[in-house]
């Protein structure tokens, strides 16, 4: 276990330094030969990140001075999570953590041992203290809690709690390959229990490895949250229209559009590594689009001056609405990131707008619950612009939302949708 604890600590150390989980994980495991540690490392890293509000509080109570070595501090976060939430014996967790500490720095074994044993002695009293502070109670940084509280006066507790839950495993049936009815039959034949949602959406009640879902390799399905599945519906595409997906990778929404209508789709993506994910997904689902590895802003390099009937603009954002799937975001994001994202989002809108035909529609999407990236960006864009009309977004029944904002719920994430029509 000590190697997985140490790898988890290395990943958390990188996240605390500003690297996201996926990159940190790849980074740690490119230099590691023992791949069998991967799933255990992932599980304890996610657990430690999920409960880091608690372990931060415990470290403040247990350690008088700031811990200078962030890798050792990260290891303590991991071990405190395990001692509070995992079923291994206390002795094993502490013993292994001390071994891990010694591998990081021989002199730090005694320190880690002392902190963890001190925690075990005072566990009952200390864990009662979780409720006294919002950061340890909700397991989010305080700025995040305050923002959600201010922006969602009656739903803030539920929103914070949902963000700490395990996400549902939701799939979209590829109607081009199989009917929803037949796919449900296939799941029943394979003894896989599911909950039908709306349209092509189903939740698999027991999450599994995607490769083990029937028909995955043959493109019968795509793993995608229900909230994201709504994009193709709201974009209101008709057969033969020209559609631009201006921020396309990995292609979840674009493939959903192609499954729903026979359109000419151009997919733009500025990150060349992520372009390969679009191509893989199109190939697996047996769908076609013109994929261009260019940024939206460099129009001269890719645009033939023919305006589009529909534009999907699914912009980069804080990911605050999908935090249960990206737990690292809670500790990676900083309050001033929202302003940076808002500037990028407004820029993307300004760049996409001239590419839209008159009477055409642009669907603006974020997976954020924060107004700064949603309503405020849209208001700024629409102010003083005479050729834009905000269309009312009509969500299907049973979708939990406040105006254009999907409120994260058991069945879907917290996305924001805005439909802009060109007058």
- Active-site residue set: 367
Residue 374, judged by CB atoms within 10 A of its CB (0-12, 13-18, 19+), counts as: buried
Given the complex with ligand SAM, which of 97 and 317 has the nearer CB atom?
A: 317
Among 135, 225, 269, 413, binds ligand SAM (CB under 6 A): 269
Tell me the DSSP string of 284-313: HHT---EEE-S-TT-GGGT--SPPEEEEEE
Among 109, 129, 214, 316, binds ligand SAM (CB under 6 A): 316
Tell me the DSSP string of 316-381: ----GGGTTT-TTHHHH--TTHHHHHHHHHHHHHHHHGGGEEEEEEEEEEES---GGGTHHHHHHH
338-397 positions binding ligand SAM, by CB under 6 A: 348
Give me 118's structure tokens: 């001190």
| Closest distance of CB 419 from ligand SAM, Å | 16
Among 37, 56, 108, 270, binds ligand SAM (CB under 6 A): 270
| φ and ψ of 363, to 5 deg | -105, 115
Residue span binding ligand SAM (CB under 6 A) among the ranges 132-140, 141-149, 241-249, 324-332? 241-249
Given the complex with ligand SAM, which of 72 and 313 has the nearer CB atom?
A: 313
The separation between CA 251 and the C-alpha centre of its own chain, rounded to angstroms, equals 15
Given the complex with ligand SAM, which of 259 and 314 has the nearer CB atom?
A: 314
| Closest distance of CB 228 from ligand SAM, Å | 6
| Closest distance of CB 145 from ligand SAM, Å | 24
Q: How far is CA 184 from CA 188, 197, 198, 215, 259, in A?
A: 6, 12, 13, 12, 18
Is residue 314 near ligand SAM by the rule CB under 6 A?
Answer: yes
Is residue 326 near ligand SAM by the rule CB under 6 A?
Answer: no
Among 251, 321, 408, 414, binds ligand SAM (CB under 6 A): 251
Give me 280's structure tokens: 């893989």
CB 51 within 8 A of CB 81: yes
Among 248, 258, 265, 355, binds ligand SAM (CB under 6 A): 248
| Closest distance of CB 271 from ligand SAM, Å | 4
- Residues that contact ligand SAM, how many (by CB under 6 A): 20
**DSSP at 68:** S
Residue 49, judged by CB atoms within 10 A of its CB (0-12, 13-18, 19+), counts as: buried
Given the complex with ligand SAM, which of 112 and 268 has the nearer CB atom?
A: 268
Q: Cis ω on the peptide bond leading into residue 250 (within 30° of 0)?
A: yes
Residue span binding ligand SAM (CB under 6 A) among the ranges 26-34, 102-110, 159-167, 290-298? 290-298
Is residue 50 near ligand SAM by the rule CB under 6 A?
Answer: no
| Closest distance of CB 268 from ligand SAM, Å | 5
| Closest distance of CB 23 from ligand SAM, Å | 13
Contacts of 89 (CB under 8 A, 6+ apart): none
Among 28, 249, 329, 420, binds ligand SAM (CB under 6 A): 249
Residue span binding ligand SAM (CB under 6 A) among the ranges 128-136, 153-161, 242-250, 375-383? 242-250
**Residue number, nearest CB to ligand SAM:** 247
The separation between CA 137 and the C-alpha centre of its own chain, rounded to angstroms, equals 22
Residue 305, judged by CB atoms within 10 A of its CB (0-12, 13-18, 19+), counts as: exposed
Given the complex with ligand SAM, which of 28 and 249 has the nearer CB atom?
A: 249
Task: Give CA–CA dist 299/316, Å, rounded.
Answer: 19
Task: Give CA–CA dist 352/247, Å, rounded.
Answer: 10
Which positions lie near ligand SAM, rule CB under 6 A? 228, 246-253, 268-271, 274, 295-297, 314, 316, 348
């Amino acid at each position: 276990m000590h190697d997985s604890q140490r790898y988890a600590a290395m990943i958390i150390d990188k996240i605390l330094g500003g690297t996201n989980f996926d990159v940190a994980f790849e980074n740690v495991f490119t230099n590691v030969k023992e791949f069998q540690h991967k799933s255990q490392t992932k599980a304890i890293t996610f657990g430690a990140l999920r409960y880091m509000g608690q372990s931060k509080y415990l470290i403040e109570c247990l350690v008088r001075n700031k811990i200078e070595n962030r890798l050792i501090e990260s290891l303590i976060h991991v071990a405190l999570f395990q001692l509070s939430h995992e079923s291994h014996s206390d002795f094993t967790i502490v013993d292994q953590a001390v071994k891990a500490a010694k591998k990081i720095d021989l002199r730090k074994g005694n320190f880690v041992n002392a902190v963890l044993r001190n925690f075990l002695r005072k566990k009952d009293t200390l864990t009662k203290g979780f409720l006294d502070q919002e950061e340890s109670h909700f397991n989010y940084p305080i700025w995040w809690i305050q923002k959600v509280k201010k922006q969602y006066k009656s739903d803030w507790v539920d929103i914070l709690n949902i963000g700490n839950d395990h996400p549902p495993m939701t799939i979209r049936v590829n109607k081009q390959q199989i009917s929803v009815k037949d796919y449900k039959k296939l799941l029943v034949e394979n003894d896989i229990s599911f909950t039908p949602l709306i349209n092509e959406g189903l939740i698999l009640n027991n999450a599994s490895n995607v490769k083990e879902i029937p028909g995955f390799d043959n493109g019968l399905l795509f793993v995608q949250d229900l909230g994201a599945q709504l994009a193709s519906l709201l974009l209101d595409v008709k057969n033969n229209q020209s559609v631009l997906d201006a921020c396309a990778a990995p292609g979840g929404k674009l493939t959903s559009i192609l499954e729903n209508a026979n359109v000419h789709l151009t997919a733009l993506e500025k990150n060349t590594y992520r372009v390969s994910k679009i191509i893989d997904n199109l190939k697996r689902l047996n769908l076609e689009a013109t994929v261009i590895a260019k940024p939206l802003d460099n129009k001269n390099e890719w645009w033939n001056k023919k305006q589009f009937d529909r534009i999907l603009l699914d912009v980069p954002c804080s990911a605050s609405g999908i935090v249960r799937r990206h737990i690292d975001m809670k500790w990676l994001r900083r309050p001033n990131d929202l302003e940076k994202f808002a500037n990028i989002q407004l820029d993307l809108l300004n760049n996409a707008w001239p590419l839209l035909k008159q009477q055409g529609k642009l669907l603006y999407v974020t997976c954020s619950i924060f107004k700064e990236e949603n309503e405020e960006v849209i208001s700024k864009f629409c102010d003083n612009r005479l050729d834009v009309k905000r269309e009312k977004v009509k969500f299907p029944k049973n979708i939990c939302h406040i105006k254009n904002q999907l409120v994260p719920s058991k069945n879907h994430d917290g996305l924001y949708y805005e439909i802009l029509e060109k007058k």
